[in-house]
């Protein structure tokens, strides 16, 4: 189901190219993902991360989720030797999956989580694919809400305080599922669930087990 047009209070409607330019300049952009509406910032932009930290009252040690539209864009952001994490990222699951993996050298310290990790999701939503083609790197994407409030599921749900912080909206594509992604961490070959979501952890564990069986068979 398509999202209705965003209200004028959210700022200008942007193309993917305009969105990428705005993010590079430190702006915050609202866009749809497969799971929820996303609030995007360029992880390389100090101004963008400052704005996002202030809006979300973010604790620095928690890190941020990165979203990418294409697997090659994650090169350097996820450690090259994190084979299980790369497998989970590139596999086509029945729903959105965010993977906590060892950080690569391109990932700024400011967006990393505990244990020098990054949380990354490959997202096939049309808005994410269009933005990926223009930006060329993963971007920070967090839910569109204020701390302690439910995530916005439609443009009309976006809080006024968030709306005032936006540089614009990338409205491409259908409405999100309305459920946060499954969040997992892979350590020592084991899948640990950090947040349950649309994809059952057993689906991920079975796929990893089958992959190892093929490699060692």
- Does 216 score more than 80 pLDDT? no
Task: Examine the pLDDT at 211 and tell me if it is beyond 80.
Answer: no
Interval 148-205: pLDDT, tens: 999 999 999 999 999 999 999 999 899 999 999 999 998 777 899 999 999 999 999 9
CB contact set of 187 (below 8 Å; sequence gap of 6+): none
Q: Which pLDDT value is given to residue 63?
A: 87
Q: Which residues contact 142 (CB under 8 A, 6 or more apart)?
A: 38, 39, 52, 56, 64, 65
The whole-number pLDDT of residue 60 equals 67
Q: Rounded to whole angstroms, how far apart are CA atoms 65 and 215?
A: 30
Q: Is the pLDDT of residue 88 over 90?
A: yes
Quote the percentage of the chain above a pLDDT of 90: 82
- Name the band, by pLDDT with cuts 50, 70 and 90, for residue 215: low
Q: What is the DSSP letter of 23?
A: H
Q: Name the DSSP class of 152.
A: P
Q: Domain spanning 8-181 has what CATH number?
A: 3.90.870.10
Quote the tokens at residue 144.
């569109």
- The strand ranges marked E within 17-158 are 29-32, 37-41, 65-68, 97-102, 117-122, 139-143
Task: Identify whether the C-beta of residue 31 lies closer than 8 Å to the C-beta of residue 140.
Answer: no
Tell me the C-alpha to C-alpha distance, in Å, between residue 74 and each of 89, 124, 137, 138, 145.
9, 14, 7, 6, 26
Q: What is the pLDDT of residues 123-147, one digit of tens each?
A: 999 999 999 999 999 999 999 999 9
Domain locations in the chain as residue ranges: 8-181
Beta bridge partners of 113: 117
pLDDT for residue 178: 92
Note the pTM of the prediction, 2 decimals. Answer: 0.93
Using the predicted structure, report yes or no on whether residue 118 has a pLDDT greater than 90: yes
| DSSP track, 91-150 | S--SS-EEEEEEBPTTS-GGG-BTTTEEEEEE---HHHHHHHHHH-S-EEEEESS-TTSP
Query: 21: helix, coil or strand?
Result: helix
pLDDT tens, position by position, 5-62: 999 999 999 999 999 999 999 999 999 999 999 999 999 999 999 999 999 988 766 8
Sorting pLDDT into bands at 50, 70 and 90, what band is 214? low
What is the 3-state composition of the chain as percent helix, strand, coil, each rounded to the nearest 5?
35, 25, 40
């Amino acid at each position: 189901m398509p999202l209705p047009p965003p209200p004028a209070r959210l700022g200008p409607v942007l193309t993917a190219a305009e969105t990428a330019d705005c993010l590079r300049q430190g702006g915050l952009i609202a866009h749809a993902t497969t799971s929820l509406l996303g609030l995007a910032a360029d992880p390389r932009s100090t101004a963008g991360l400052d704005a996002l930290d202030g809006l979300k009252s973010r604790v620095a040690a928690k890190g941020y989720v990165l979203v990418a539209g294409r697997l090659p864009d994650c090169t350097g952001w996820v450690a090259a030797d994190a084979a299980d994490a790369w497998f989970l990222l590139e596999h086509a699951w029945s729903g959105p999956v965010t993977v906590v993996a060892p950080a690569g050298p391109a990932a700024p310290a400011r967006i990393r989580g505990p244990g020098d990790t990054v949380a990354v999701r490959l997202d096939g939503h049309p808005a994410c694919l269009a933005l990926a083609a223009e930006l060329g790197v993963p971007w920070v994407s967090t839910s569109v809400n204020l701390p302690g409030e439910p995530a916005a599921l439609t443009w009309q749900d976006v809080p006024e305080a968030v709306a005032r912080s936006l540089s614009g909206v990338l409205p491409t594509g259908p409405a999100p599922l309305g459920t946060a992604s499954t969040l997992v961490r892979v350590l020592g070959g084991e899948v640990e669930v950090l947040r349950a979501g649309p994809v059952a952890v057993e689906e991920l564990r079975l796929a990893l087990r089958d992959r190892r069986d093929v490699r060692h068979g």
